[in-house]
Amino acid sequence: MIEEPFASGTSFLHRADPRAKLATAAVLSCILSVSPSPAAPALALFVGAACLCWAGLPGRALWRRLATVNAFVAFLWVFLPFSTPGEATAIIGPVTATRQGIALAVLITLKTNAIMCLFLALIATSDAASLGQAMHRLRVPPKLVFLFLFTYRFIHVIGDEQRRLFTAAKLRGFTPRTTRHTYRTLASLLAMVLVGAMRRAEMTRQAMLLRCFHGSFGTLRSFRLGRGEYAFLTAAALFALCLSALEVLHV
Amino acid sequence: MSDIPILALRQVRYAYALAERPVLNGMDFSLAPGERVGLFGPNGCGKTTLLSVMMGLLPVIGGDVLYMGKPARTEADFFELRRGVGFLLQNADDQILFPTVLDDVAFGPLNLGLAPAEAAREAREALAFVGLESFEDRLTHRLSGGEKKLVTLAGVLAMHPKALLLDEPTASLDPDTRHRLVHILEHLDAAVLTVSHDWDFLNLVSSDFYTIEDGLLVKEAASELHWHAHAHPHPEQPH
B99 touching chain A per CB within 8 A: yes
For residue B99, tell me if it sits in a domain.
yes
Helices (H) and strands (E) in chain A, counts: 9, 2
Q: Is B25 helix (H, G, I), strand (E, B) or coil?
A: strand
ipTM computed for the complex = 0.74
Look up the pTM and report it: 0.77
B108 touching chain A per CB within 8 A: yes
Q: What is the pLDDT of residue B48?
A: 86
- What is the rounded CA–CA span in Å between residue A129 and residue B238? 37
- The answer to whether B238 and B178 have CB atoms below 8 angstroms apart is yes
Q: What residue of A is the nearest CA neighbor of B152?
A: A207
Chain mean pLDDT for chain B:
87
For residue B237, tell me if it sits in a domain.
no
- What is the rounded CA–CA span in Å between residue B96 and residue B143? 11
Q: Do B94 and A207 touch (CB under 8 A)?
A: yes
For residue B184, tell me if it sits in a domain.
yes
**H or E segment and range at residue B204:** helix B199-205
Position A76 confidence tier, pLDDT thresholds 50, 70, 90? very high
For residue B1, tell me if it sits in a domain.
no
What is the mean pLDDT of the segment spanning B16-27? 83
- What is the rounded CA–CA span in Å between residue B182 and residue B222? 18
Position B127 confidence tier, pLDDT thresholds 50, 70, 90? very high
φ, ψ dihedrals at A65, nearest 5°: -60, -45
From the list A53, A35, A90, the residue with the least C-alpha distance to A243 is A35
Q: Is A137 helix (H, G, I), strand (E, B) or coil?
A: helix
- What is the rounded CA–CA span in Å between residue A151 and residue A142? 14
For residue B235, tell me if it sits in a domain.
no
Q: Do A212 and B120 touch (CB under 8 A)?
A: no
Select the residue of B57, B106, B112 nearest A206 (Cβ to Cβ).
Answer: B57
Q: Do A207 and B106 touch (CB under 8 A)?
A: no
Q: What is the pLDDT of residue B231?
A: 59
β-partners of residue A97 are A90
Domain ranges of chain A: 12-126+223-249, 140-210
For residue B118, tell me if it sits in a domain.
yes
Q: Do A218 and B110 touch (CB under 8 A)?
A: yes
Select the residue of B55, B120, B140 nearest A210 (Cβ to Cβ).
Answer: B55
Q: What is the pLDDT of residue A194?
A: 87
What is the CATH classification number for the domain harbouring B174? 3.40.50.300
B121 touching chain A per CB within 8 A: no
Report helix angle A18-33 to A99-122, nearest 10: 180
Residue type at B36 in one-letter notation: R
Q: Tell me the chain B residues in contact with residue A212 when contact means C-beta distances shorter than 8 Å.
A: 79, 82-83, 108, 111-112, 159
Q: Do A153 and B141 touch (CB under 8 A)?
A: yes
Q: Assess whether pLDDT exceeds 80 at residue A221.
A: no
What is the mean pLDDT of the segment spanning B156-181? 92
φ, ψ dihedrals at A8, nearest 5°: -100, 130
Q: Do B99 and A153 touch (CB under 8 A)?
A: yes
Please report the beta strands in chain A, taking only residues with DSSP state E, as ranges in sequence order.
88-92, 95-98
**H or E segment and range at residue B8:** strand B7-14
Number of structural domains, chain B?
1
- Residue B109 sits in which domain range? 7-226
From the list B75, B25, B69, B68, the residue with the least C-alpha distance to B50 is B25
